[in-house]
Chains A and B, each alone.
Chain A
């Protein structure tokens, strides 16, 4: 079974803190994604990576950065957490090319106070 694992299921951080969300996949997928999920807005892409050390901005990259030093790991970084970044964060991975399907982690619910 494909497994995408996010480091935390729930996280509470203070305004201004630097926050790291980690994601690991075990299927040698080229693509990895970070989405933010908010009610009524669906899933919005923050960043995606199609290879090690490669990244592309998604629809809402402001206030976020990412790191992909190894193929299996994709980290989302909130440089200085703010209350408007309180949300559900979903990591996903997929093969690049045909038979593409996104496999998701279990989500991290982040609260910034």
Chain B
């Protein structure tokens, strides 16, 4: 069975600084997707970024980028120029084609003014 681990229950970053959230996963599949979801206090889960495992290039969405290391089964999220609105729970997730999504335990990110 696939598992997703996030070793940092809580992180904090100064506004305008950069922070990296860690995620590792375990799977025997070669093709899959990895995701970072954000859950603000409103509770609405929002997709931040997605990475297809067959793509070697790391995904980027504005201030958000990932470092995908397939051999090491590592998928970290870097947030640049952190803003107060980035404060939220961040969940790393794995999905195989057409199958269910497996989530990590989450990292609570605080942004300090």
- Check B101 against A92 for contact (C-beta < 8 Å): yes
Tally of A-B Cβ pairs under 8 angstroms:
59
Assess the A100–B103 pair: CB atoms within 8 A: no
Contact-size category for A: 20 to 34
**From A40, A92, A94, A107, contact of B105 by CB (8 A):** A40
CB < 8 Å neighbour of A96 from B35, B98, B101: B98
A100 pairs with B105, CB closer than 8 A? no
Q: Flag A94-113 by CB within 8 Å of B: 1 or 0 each.
A: 10111011101011000000
Convert A42-71 into 0s and 1s, putting 1 for each residue whose CB lies closer than 8 angstroms to a CB of B: 111100101000001010000000000000
A43 touches which of B33, B42, B91, B98 (Cβ 8 Å): B91
| List of B residues within 8 angstroms of A106 by Cβ | 42-44
CB distance from A69 to the nearest CB of B (A): 21
In the assembled complex, 28 residue pairs joining A and B whose CB atoms fall closer than 8 Å, in A order, are: A30-B98, A31-B98, A33-B101, A41-B105, A42-B4, A42-B91, A42-B104, A42-B106, A43-B91, A43-B103, A45-B100, A48-B100, A50-B98, A88-B43, A92-B45, A96-B97, A96-B98, A100-B95, A100-B97, A101-B33, A101-B47, A102-B35, A102-B37, A102-B45, A102-B47, A104-B44, A106-B42, A106-B43
